[in-house]
Structure 1
Amino acid sequence: MMVKGEPFLDTHYFLYHSDATRTRRHKRAIKERLDTHPAIEWAEEQRPKRRVKRDYLFLDDDAHHNAPQRRSVLSHQNNRRAQKRQQPTSPREIPSLPFPDPLYKDQWYLHNGAVGGFDMNVRQAWLAGYAGRNVSVSILDDGIQRNHPDLAENYDPLASTDINDHDDDPTPQDNGDNKHGTRCAGEVAALAGNNQCGVGVAYKAKIGGVRMLDGAVSDSVEAASLSLNQNHIDIYSASWGPEDDGRTFDGPGPLAREAFYRGIKNGRGGKGNIFVWASGNGGSKQDSCSADGYTTSVYTLSISSATYDNHR
């Protein structure tokens, strides 16, 4: 067998058969030899799990999203009111709102654009000088386009790796199916004020990505992703999980659970890592977020959201 990539959880390794054409019986014999080897404490054949990206859903009959009648919240009057709420003595850089990025005006969840004026309340944080400085976020997904003009300046190589191909480059395959991780990275840390695309919630944060969904996903793949550089990464963000079909119940395996525990116990020099999980899109199928061992784990923060017109 061949060892690929770096060890994870200190002492665990990815082992691959050097000859993929070996029979099942031959592979089973190799596994038995590993189990009885005096230098090996534990070995397990990894089985692929079905993991689904939890993405934005475009609803064909959603007239609000096709032609939303959104009230304008980008006027100078509103901007002045927001500026008054800032702390004038803050040593941090205070942005001048609204941002000039072309898609910022469409990011209704950032500037009171939803029905009833609801949003994520981040402008008050921005005007107090908070924008994610000195925070490292890693997106566990299908990779991120690290040279994207809205991400390159904030890219963090220490929060990035490729578990699928066992190298350091998280760039996704350019096959049309692997843009979810880049989109998630942009929602978090897209640059502000550079006239590109939109604005990230924490536009000064350092952003990295782990390419781990672009291949077979197993317990070891999840554990290696969740345990990456735990003394450097502050926040791990995962927008995927078991099928949200109202019938499937699944959760992290023993290696992933160990990665969670080590992260909250020892990560960031004892302060603990923060694991953020998307709770899923199964509401229309009567799927419960509780039927998911990732979102119900005591070690994760499970996040749900609402639509522009305040529907779940």
Structure 2
Amino acid sequence: MQARGPVGLGWECLHQGAGPSRAAGARFQIFPDGQYFHLRHRGVAQQSLTPHWGHRLRLKKDPKVQWFEQQTLRRRFKRSFAEPSDPWFSKQWYMVQPDLNILQVWSQGLTGQGVVVSILDDGIEKDHPDLWANYDPLASYDFNDYDPDPQPRYTPSDENRHGRRCAGEVAAIANNHFCGAGVAFNARVGGVRMLDGTITDVVEAQSLSLQPQHIHIYSASWGPEDDGRTVDGPGILTREAFRLGVTKGRGGLGTLFIWASGNGGLHYDNCNCDGYTNSIHTLSVGSTTKQGRVPWYSEACASKLTTTYSSGVVTDPQIVTTDLHHQCTDKHTGTSASAPLAAGMIALALEANPFLSWRDMQHLVVRASRPAQLQAEDWRVNGVGRRGAMGPVGAGMLCPPGK
């Protein structure tokens, strides 16, 4: 097979018999003690867009030449990792900072391939230009209207943009010259529309039980009101959905439930009083700012297993993701933004080792969370020698390991 490109860089020949002289063999021989030779003709252009037919015919007629091939230029590329070319990737400051370790994991070829994530929220635009190629209909459903289409309901205030933004953080398409890139940009992503209507124990349980053998990770950035007065949690059916998920989901390895820890810090809300983040079956995620500071909305609780980036005051850089009406935004914030980042990083870990159980992943997250970049005054060493903060920071910054 002849490669494209300029030709005339010489000839490779298989010469029958003794071949050229010993001196010529030493100079032109391709393999030691072989009969393949690389020959050049001084009267032929070094590079040309067309083959040299006259010389080809002469070689073809030579009874001592068993095979020949005119050499061509071949394009070869170093297989080093290149950052996504999406126009807003430069705004995704949390991707390039070493704390989350995302670029290093990408450089190992881990991009979420084969992992399915479902966003339990107010719906997603399945035809969004930065999502459509990764959209998974089997990981999607509308439990508000009971149909398979998770498309959000459009309003003048765009109040149903929450799920769309969370989905883009996980699996926005990379290198398509639009928006930015998701943490696990080759993962499959679905959406469950369940927050834009009557919310009952049945709706929550059904949402958390959708396709448990197909969906690996459920990401939820919602819960009871963060007003500092509410003590609430999952009902009987939802608790059963959690139990069935971790015991039977993913072929018995257990479904992974990623939960935002809450935004009630201003009201002294405590996520220990939130039965979703406080459940042993969920992996609760808090927030930190780019500077490693505790955001004003962060809640303190012992159930918070890890922390990822978000923003604090209005001047802080926020999270880049997809938005309603096929748009992009750089204004996503709160623990609602932190949980999908963690879901994406956990998808990378699952690609590296799909046999991790739900408890394995909880242990892995705690062990991979580092306190180094977080500013807190109450770091303590617990009984197993791990550093943790009693306040709103939690166990540390999530930093997924490599393979």
SS of aligned partner of 1:290: helix
Counterpart mapping for 1:162-201 below 5 A: 162-175=142-155, 176-201=158-183
Q: CA deviation at 1:162?
A: 0.4
The 2-side partners of 1:199 and 1:305 are apart by 20
Describe the superposition over 1:278-304 as per-residue Cα deviations: whole angstroms up to 9, x where unpaired.
Answer: 001122322112110000100000011
SS of aligned partner of 2:273: coil
SS of aligned partner of 1:261: helix
Select 1:153's aligned residue among 123, 133, 142: 133
Provide the residue aligned with 1:122 in structure 2: 102
Higher percent of residues as strand: 2
Relative distance call for 1:121 and 1:162 in structure 2 (3 A) is same
The 10-residue stretch of structure 1 (102-111 or 145-154) with the greater mean CA deviation from structure 2 = 102-111
Provide the residue aligned with 2:324 in structure 1: none
Contact preservation (8 Å) 1:277, 1:295? yes
Contact preservation (8 Å) 1:95, 1:126? no
Select 1:141's aligned residue among 118, 121, 125: 121
- One-letter amino acid of the counterpart of residue 243, structure 2: Y
- One-letter amino acid of the counterpart of residue 82, structure 2: L
The 2-side partners of 1:185 and 1:95 are apart by 28
The 2-side partners of 1:127 and 1:230 are apart by 30
Contact preservation (8 Å) 2:123, 2:150? yes
The 1-side partners of 2:123 and 2:80 are apart by 30
The 2-side partners of 1:95 and 1:148 are apart by 30
Provide the residue aligned with 1:205 in structure 2: 187
- One-letter amino acid of the counterpart of residue 180, structure 1: H
Describe the superposition over 1:148-198 as per-residue Cα deviations: whole angstroms up to 9, x where unpaired.
Answer: 011000000010000000000000011111111010000000011111111
Aligned residues: 215
Contact preservation (8 Å) 2:173, 2:182? yes
SS of aligned partner of 1:147: coil
- One-letter amino acid of the counterpart of residue 167, structure 1: D
The 1-side partners of 2:181 and 2:99 are apart by 14
Higher relative contact order (CA 8 A, sep 6+): 1
Provide the residue aligned with 2:86 in structure 1: 101
Relative distance call for 1:301 and 1:246 in structure 2 (3 A) is same
Q: CA deviation at 1:121?
A: 1.4
Provide the residue aligned with 1:260 in structure 2: 242
Provide the residue aligned with 1:289 in structure 2: 271
SS of aligned partner of 2:277: coil
Structure 1 segments of 4+ aligned residues over 6 angstroms from their partners = none
Alignment of 1:245 onto 2:230: no
Contact preservation (8 Å) 2:114, 2:187? yes
Identical amino acids, percent of aligned pairs: 58
The 2-side partners of 1:202 and 1:218 are apart by 31
Describe the superposition over 1:3-44 as per-residue Cα deviations: whole angstroms up to 9, x where unpaired.
Answer: xxxxxxxxxxxxxxxxxxxxxxxxxxxxxxxxxxxxxxxxxx
The 2-side partners of 1:222 and 1:213 are apart by 9
The 2-side partners of 1:273 and 1:132 are apart by 16
Relative distance call for 1:285 and 1:311 in structure 2 (3 A) is farther
Contact preservation (8 Å) 1:101, 1:198? yes
- One-letter amino acid of the counterpart of residue 157, structure 1: P
Describe the superposition over 1:53-106 as per-residue Cα deviations: whole angstroms up to 9, x where unpaired.
Answer: xxxxxxxxxxxxxxxxxxxxxxxxxxxxxxxxxxxxxxxxx7743321111111
Alignment of 1:275 onto 2:260: no
The 1-side partners of 2:87 and 2:259 are apart by 29
- One-letter amino acid of the counterpart of residue 222, structure 2: W
* Alignment gaps of 5+ in structure 2: 1-78, 295-403
Provide the residue aligned with 2:217 in structure 1: 235
Taking structure 2 as the reference length, the TM-score comes to 0.52
Contact preservation (8 Å) 1:108, 1:119? no
Provide the residue aligned with 1:223 in structure 2: 205
* Alignment gaps of 5+ in structure 1: 1-93, 113-117
SS of aligned partner of 1:105: helix
Contact preservation (8 Å) 2:81, 2:106? no
The 2-side partners of 1:130 and 1:105 are apart by 20
Taking structure 1 as the reference length, the TM-score comes to 0.67
The 2-side partners of 1:130 and 1:276 are apart by 20
Provide the residue aligned with 1:132 in structure 2: 112
Provide the residue aligned with 2:351 in structure 1: none
Provide the residue aligned with 1:83 in structure 2: none
Relative distance call for 1:243 and 1:264 in structure 2 (3 A) is same
Larger radius of gyration: 2
